[in-house]
């Protein structure tokens, strides 16, 4: 194993451990982890969109308002939080004079709301299971895509956006996500509708990855940041979650709650 891959594996394991710890704790700790990640991501979004340092800080301040109201001891996941997110978007767009910078607000707040919504579901451990499923299928997609792409190779998925991604990697990611979904169904009772939807969420995760790759290519950078050794920035690690988490919440609402 190369030193770069070893560093990537160690840091990845630490990140997953922190995420799982906060996820199992739930409540305030899970919200706090998502808020810290969200504010850092908004800063990285500002860098990728070419915002000035002043506007970058403005956006980070603005997004902290809807993220703060999502606290379990405040309003939580609610229409108030959605309204504050909308207000933060227009505030950044008008004061910062940049719609591109302002788009980072819904890009970050919506998946945070989705993960908190899933985690808060009851009874018993259902909320923990749902939020874990939404995160674990993204991790599985990344791992499956990485190893399938390296071992099989073949035609590129989007060579002008991300030259390293292949169709075989996408297939490996889908199979890995489906495996996680049905394992969770078999052993801990994840609704079968959600297990079957894991493949579609894997596609969404890969699309989220491609969106960030497109932004980095336009910005002329390799990573969204340098905070995480071997991984780059926070956006580099959560680009798949950003796309998959809202879809997971939508699937849960329409496939499970409405049935």
pLDDT tens for residues 7-46?
A: 878 888 899 899 999 999 999 999 999 999 999 999 999 9
pLDDT of res. 12: 83
Alpha-carbon distance 160 to 131, whole Å?
A: 33
Closest C-alpha to 112, from 173, 40, 4, 210: 40
Q: What is the pTM of this model?
A: 0.94
User: At 225, phi and psi to the nearest 5?
Assistant: -170, -170
Q: In this model, does residue 257 exceed pLDDT 90?
A: no
Closest C-alpha to 30, from 172, 99, 130: 130
121-177 pLDDT tens trace: 876 678 999 999 999 999 999 999 999 988 998 899 998 898 889 999 999 999 999
Rg (CA), the chain: 18
Q: Which domain holds residue 172?
A: 3-257
pLDDT of res. 86: 98
pLDDT of res. 13: 87
43-92 pLDDT tens trace: 999 999 999 999 999 999 999 999 999 999 999 999 999 999 999 999 99
- H helices of 70-98, in order, are 79-95
pLDDT of res. 140: 96
Question: Can you tell me whether residue 70 is helix, strand or coil?
Answer: coil
210-239 pLDDT tens trace: 999 999 999 999 989 888 887 789 999 999
pLDDT of res. 40: 97
Q: Tell the burial category of 221 from Cβ atoms under 10 Å away from its Cβ (0-12, 13-18, 19+).
A: middle
Closest C-alpha to 150, from 158, 139, 142, 159: 142
Q: Are 90 and 19 in contact (CB under 8 A)?
A: no
pLDDT of res. 70: 97
For 26: left if phi > 0, alpha if psi spans -120 to 50, otherwise beta; the answer is left
Which residue carries 């800063």 as its tokens? 43
pLDDT of res. 1: 55
Q: Are 165 and 150 in contact (CB under 8 A)?
A: no
Which residue carries 């950003």 as its tokens? 242
**Structural domain total, the chain:** 1
pLDDT of res. 3: 72
């Amino acid at each position: 194993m190369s030193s770069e891959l070893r560093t990537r594996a160690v840091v990845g394991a630490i990140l997953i451990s922190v995420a799982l710890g906060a996820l199992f704790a739930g409540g305030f700790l899970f919200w706090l982890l998502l808020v810290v990640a969200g504010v850092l991501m908004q800063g990285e979004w500002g860098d990728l969109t070419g915002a000035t340092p002043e506007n970058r800080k403005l956006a980070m301040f603005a997004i902290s308002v809807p993220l703060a109201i999502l606290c379990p001891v405040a309003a939580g996941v609610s229409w108030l939080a959605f309204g504050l997110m909308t207000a933060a978007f227009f505030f950044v767009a008008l004061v910062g004079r940049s719609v591109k910078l302002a788009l980072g607000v819904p890009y970050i707040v919506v998946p945070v709301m989705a993960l908190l919504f899933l985690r808060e579901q009851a009874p018993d451990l259902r909320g923990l299971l749902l939020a874990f499923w939404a995160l674990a299928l993204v991790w599985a997609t990344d791992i499956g895509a990485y190893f399938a792409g390296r071992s099989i190779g073949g035609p590129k998925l989007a060579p002008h956006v991300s030259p390293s991604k292949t169709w075989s990697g996408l297939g490996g990611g889908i199979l890995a996500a489906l495996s996680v979904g049905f394992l969770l169904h078999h052993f801990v009772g994840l609704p079968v509708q959600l297990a079957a939807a894991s493949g579609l969420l894997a596609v969404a995760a890969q699309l989220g990855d491609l969106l960030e790759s497109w932004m980095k290519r336009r910005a002329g950078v390799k990573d969204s940041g340098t905070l995480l050794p071997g991984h780059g920035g926070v956006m580099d690690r959560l680009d798949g979650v950003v796309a998959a988490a809202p879809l997971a919440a939508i699937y849960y609402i329409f496939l499970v709650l409405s049935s």
